[in-house]
Amino acid sequence: MAAPSHRRSLRSRRALVLSAAVVAAGVGAGVVVMNANAGTVDLYHQTLAAKDGWASSGTGTTGGAKADAAHTFTVSTRAQLVKALGSATDTTPRIIKVSGTIDANTDDSGKKLTCADYAAGTGYSLSAYLKAYDPATYGRSKLPSGTQESARAAAQKKQALNVTFKVPANTTIVGVPGTAAGITGGMLQVQNVDNVIVRNLAFAATEDCFPQWDPTDGDDGNWNSNYDSVTLRGATHVWADHNTFTDGPHFDSANPKYFGREYQIHDGSLDITKGSDLVTVSRNQFTNHDKTMLIGSSDTDSVGKLRVSIHHNVWKGIVQRAPLARIGQIHIYNNYYDVTTLNGYAPQYSINSRAKAQVVAENNYWKLPSGAKAAKLLSGDGTGSVKGSGNLVNGTVTDLVAVYNAASSKDLKTTVNWTPTLTTGLETSAAGLPTSLATTTGSGVLK
């Protein structure tokens, strides 16, 4: 290989001058991203590349690239973000630049809000709720109902109004480089809209103050919470790129137990449900979380939709759903999975294919600690398919489906009804992923 030249071309010098000028103009201007293959790219107006996963299909994903100056915003508080988003039905292209970390649990003046603030005036208290629905007296055959359940729902509604950010169509939301941009305690809701880009943001501490007890969920009941950090419901053409998702600083290991079950305050990291379609999830970091990515809300979610591409992401300290896929055509490639227990998050499985999902998983890399079994990396209900190739486990090519089926009573099918073609950037070997993805994924990488 020839030694790289350290001389800058005229084009490169011009790009650097342009970049310096933009930086000098401040965060209100565009940020020019250096790209060795494509020259300079304006981060805020960048669109999804051609053939980069399902979100590039058809009309592609351009977000707010056509936004005018009146619909280009820089926000640093919850109130500013709400104002910039405007009405969820307004399809005017808009670009929202997030500078710094926005705390969703604040009021319009910036005052910090607590769970007690949301519960105030509703009549809800956890102690009263626990007393009302103790299985020893209430039983286990029906969902909670009555005064305390109504009060819990009212308190949860108050929190939801504060922490849910409804994203309209034709929107780009991007973290300003160098500002530790992100949203803590909040949920971006992309519902029944088209053409949305979410990039360069750190999502943390998305917590439900008021989980509901469901004694009928499983053999022993469960506490179920609301709020995914990013939730897609009936959304189309969505690109989620270079974001970081974590429960931190409050990990599940700190959750108490009531009625013998974990009082779970976290839901999903990035869920893709209710007939969402044409989604590309690229170069994100998913860490310290349980139920991470759900594709399809139920076994009867929309047939012919739920087409998702998941590539070049890092999954570390994830218990399950990386992803759990139903019904759709899902391409999972060039991801790095570290299934070492982290901060109490002990992995159960990585990929679950069920409800006739058609998953193609190729050229991914799994790091297994000593004693862990490759047979537990996959899961399914006996109806889903996983067509696997080029997947490495600790550097060794492994037929994950064959290993799983040899140990399971519900075999994964090995053939799918489609062939991926939107594969820009697909690497034919997974060997280098642990190294390359360590510095090229998550928020804060884009400059």
| Residues carrying an active site annotation | 321
**Sign of the alpha-carbon dihedral angle for 178, 179, 181, 184:** positive
Distance between CA 378 and CA 324 in Å, rounded? 10
Burial degree of 417 (CB within 10 A; 0-12, 13-18, 19+): exposed
Asked whether the CA dihedral 340, 346, 348, 351 is positive or negative, the reply is: negative
CA R_g for the chain: 22
Give the list of residues 6+ apart from residue 49 with CB closer than 8 angstroms, or none.
56, 424, 425
Name the token pair of 252. 């599940």
Q: How many angstroms separate the Cα of 11 from the Cα of each of 4, 38, 44, 198, 357?
A: 17, 11, 22, 30, 47
Which one, of 139, 138, 188, lies nearest residue 163 by Cα? 188
DSSP 3-state assignment of 83? Answer: helix
Residue 261 contacts residue 223 (beta carbons within 8 Å) = yes
Q: Are β-strands 396-397 and 392-393 bridged in parallel, bridged antiparallel, or unpaired?
A: antiparallel
Closest CA to 276 of 356, 196, 198, 208: 196
